[in-house]
Amino acid sequence: MDGDDPSDVDTGNRTPTARDRLADGRPQNARPRDVLGRPLPPGSVGVPRVPDDLQLPPHESLPLAQRYLDDGMPFHAHDVLEGTWKATTGDDRELWQGLAQLAVGLTHLLRGNAAGAVTLITRGRDRLTPYRAAPPHGVDVVGLVGWADTVIAALDHGSSEVPAPPRLTSP
């Protein structure tokens, strides 16, 4: 091994594998995923994925994300909300990022990562709080902040109970 040839890299007992790449060289997440977005071994049957480039307007994003939350698929809800966040400009960007963080925080909780859940749910709550006075798109900011506070307090007290998913919009 002279260090000049990448094939000279010692991989220990691991077998190096080629990774699927997009045309621009970025890695492509082609592996199947479980319901919580965790990668499964190649060749496994996973759940259908949200397209990486999905960018829906708010009136489509919110009901789809809610369906995923209600179906126990918060990682998918996160992907939907993240697409809207990334497509949004202006004053609503923080709102969409906060919504995506709540969903991925719930994902971490369901994966058994309470510390990660607290961190992300706290960040999401903090991003949503400024919208309390005039919530856009029918988002139930007051309810979501209350949900986040309840989940954070329960986790801080050692609870392992998984909460019901939050309601994204006001009834």
Instruction: Quote the number of domains for the chain.
Output: 1
Detail the DSSP E strand segments found in the chain.
none
Detail the DSSP E strand segments found in 31-169.
none
Residue 122 lies in a domain: yes
Residue 47 lies in a domain: no
Helices and strands (H and E) in the chain: how many: 5, 0
* pLDDT score for 108: 96
* pLDDT score for 2: 44
Residues 6+ apart with CB under 8 A from 166: 69, 102, 106, 143, 144, 147, 148
Residue 126 lies in a domain: yes
Residue 51 lies in a domain: no
Cα(154)–Cα(131) distance, rounded to whole angstroms?
24
* pLDDT score for 26: 55
Range of the domain at 95: 58-156
Residues 6+ apart with CB under 8 A from 89: none
CB-CB neighbours of 63 under 10 Å: 14
Residue whose tokens read 């798109």: 137
* pLDDT score for 48: 78
- Would you state the structure tokens that stand for residue 160, as one six-digit string? 């392992």
Residue whose tokens read 């994966």: 111
Residue 88 lies in a domain: yes
Could you tell me the pTM of the whole model? 0.80
CATH number at residue 125: 1.10.3450.10
**pLDDT tens for the 171 residues of the chain, in order:** 444 443 333 444 444 455 566 677 655 667 888 778 888 888 888 877 877 888 899 999 999 999 999 999 999 999 999 999 999 999 999 999 999 999 999 999 999 999 999 999 999 999 999 999 999 999 999 999 999 999 999 999 999 888 999 999 998
Residue 69 lies in a domain: yes
Residue 18 lies in a domain: no
Cα(111)–Cα(131) distance, rounded to whole angstroms?
29
